[in-house]
A and B are shown apart, each in its own frame.
Chain A
Amino acid sequence: MTAPEPAKQAATTRRFGTCAWGLLSICFTASLLDGAELDEVRRRGELVWAADQEGGGPHVFPDPADPRQITGFEVELAELIAGELGVKARFLQGQWDRLPLLLEQSADCVINGIELTPERRRDYGCSRPYFSYALQALGRRGAAPASFADLAEPGPSGPWRVGVLTGSAAETEMRARSSRGEVQMEVIGYDGTLDSLEQVQSAVLDAAVMDDCIFAFYADRYGKLRAVDRPFAGGFYTVLTARSTPRLAVAIDDALGTLLADGRLKALYDRWDLAGRQQMLLLRDAAEIPPASQRTLVELIRQTLPLLLSSAGMTILLSCASFPLAIAIGLAVAIGRLYGPSWLKPPLTAYVEVLRGTPLMLQLYAIFFLLPKVGLALPALMAAILGLALNYSAYESEIYRAGLKAVPLGQFEAALSLGLSKWQALRHVLVPQAVRIVMPPVTSDFIALFKDTSVCSAITVIELTKRYSVLALSMGRIVELAMVTALIYLCMSWPLSLLSRWFEARLERPAGTTP
């Protein structure tokens, strides 16, 4: 490296005398902008590379022999690149579709099957291609679709249901083909590649589309699956760096160049059964991809608003469908625990503790991915509504239990003394009062649920937050889209708070009063 190191620069600067401090800081800032990041990596002795081990093999995945360790061809590639820079590689876990965001935080680069696209050329530092992939469609053995031609017509029960990794080239490609009408399919985005394989295996999906090397790697584990037709489309993987670290980008690109030239990359691919020679030939003749041009704000909004609005509708649908269900179940559980027969109490207590004590995400996973294994496949939307309702019913039941206990005992005794049965007393005297007492915490739970709907993206239900994050990352307009999204959220929460105020005011009035 010929560039002067900042320490030397600073030493030179200090000689200028008394007014040196200001000058020093200017120089230091300038040197930061000018690529001090590479020196920072060297000083640290570590190249921090981000990837998602959930994305699976052959890229990066937990070592079957020792799940605390990760393995994969990109793990070895990261070590080779770091070695070229004279440092060690340190792995940083992130969610695949959000890996680029880590570049602004703690990661120096992203090495995880990131496809080279015009948008990424525009928004990030992209290295020369290091791997060539093609897309592969796959389905179940003995079930339609059997070929790509089948996908042009709808399946036996409407459009084909096809799973892809959210934010991947497979998703972009399939959505584009679908919107051009070349294929009749509903494209469903998953957070992990293996999720879509599971769902094809358990017949929730008709097919999945992913990078060919992933299917090749897992073909043995998912014995029921088969390739549908030959690989198609495709492109190259690139090492992503932040725009603000150009020198690091150059160093990584140089390192890749060395690894390509001296055969170590080919040897790596051969070790992983990834057809090293073919890769070398494809990489040698990779065409330059020009960066995409920046969209204007108006264009951006015009393109994204319909998608954002429909996702906002999903947020509303999820909350409004699941919350009444949660309240109904929660109230029933609370009444059962307080006034039910004694044999009913332990199972109801267990119900509350289990649902409250395990993460919502896990419950959604269980409903969506595990129920199909026992032959009970729910559509994603139903699974999401059910999952949210069950999870929140545990919280609602505790709120209603507290509310019922807060009604003075005299109310219950007075109702019983009038000859009302226990259930009539609950129905006419206790529950209406408890409902009024718990209005504030229930309202705040509804708001919490409103936000928690974003967890449903884990089971492919895309609501506003998820849509924002996908759009922001694919378009590289994080701030502008955040403002639009925030505005949509405000437009939703405003009428909501009006509604809850109206409802509270209505409850304040005596019910069924004669005028």
Chain B
Amino acid sequence: MKSRKRTMFVAAAAVLCLVLLAAIAGCAPKEPANGGDETTEIKIGMVGPLSGDAAAYGINILRAAEIAIEEANASGELGDITLKIISEDTEGDWAKAANAFTKLIDVDGVSVIIGGVLSSESEAGSDIVKDAAIPTISPSSTSVDLTKGNPYLFRNCLSDEVQAVQLAEFAVEELGMGKFAILFTKNDYGESLRDAFKNKAEELAEVVAVESFMDKDNDFKAQITKIKEKNPDCLYIAGYYTEAAKIAQQAQQAGMDIQLLGADGLCNVVFLEVGEDAVEGTYATSGFYPDDPMTAVQDFVKAYKDKHGEEPDMFAAQGYDAARIVIEAIKSKGTTSEQIREGIAATADFPGITGKTSLDEEGDTIKDVLILKVENGKFVRVR
């Protein structure tokens, strides 16, 4: 009796599993063959963290990309083609990003993907999009050599190398700094910024301390106390805005009178809100300046604010540009994945809201770096 009951349970559970599998198969819309004949709707995939620790980055990019696509659909610039964005969450986990990429390509039949957001997500997706020949443009994955050797992977964010080198030069030449300390976040973004900045700073001046912290850490006093001992005149923060603002606060409290420097990860209002007067005078490299008088920038800032009630940050701006690059590619070359790929690869002097963007033969970005300074609780452009 007992064993019969068990067998029944095994059978029932096995059936449940099959049903679950069948259910996902059933959810899949039956795709028409991805032929070249008249498709009026082009699906654009978006992969990024929409939940979990990194959700803020993914959500901002998605919102901005949605705005770009809505605008394109409304303006009729693509004729009878309409665009549709389909987003998939990664929870900030690259292994789950692999599922998201495959699902978008296989089940939804997207022609082009915007994403991943974190470098690890793009790394995990790199081979998948290459195998499937789906062009993919990442708005924010900065890890070194990401796009190398993959003709389907592009990015439109500032390279860490360029940002760090330009800022190191600026600090030495314009600000007359001589003793640097570096505090970096222990992920791909922080590490590659650290490497680039450290090399340049050592070449031009002296680096006295290099310390690290984990993403989403709250307490940096131990590192700050250690750095303070070394008496640097300048601290380069290679990380994101929330942590950077806390570092600024805690450094100020520790009685450090120090020039703060940072990269594009700092450019968010949260940095100003949390940091208050502790972040005054901070210099940061950026591709995006929300107070830029350029009409494209002002239109975007207004559209974003109207829709979401907050000022767009660097992530959002890059997400918008990524979507715009895709739209331009469709406009100039055509609607198939291969044509979109060609279009993206040919991007040159694209007038984005994060500056004039060109892509090199490796799919990496060439664009100007702005240097912003925090003055009276606002980012101001100095170069």
Bound pair: A and B? no
Please report B residues at the A interface, Cβ cutoff 8 Å.
none
Please report A residues at the B interface, Cβ cutoff 8 Å.
none
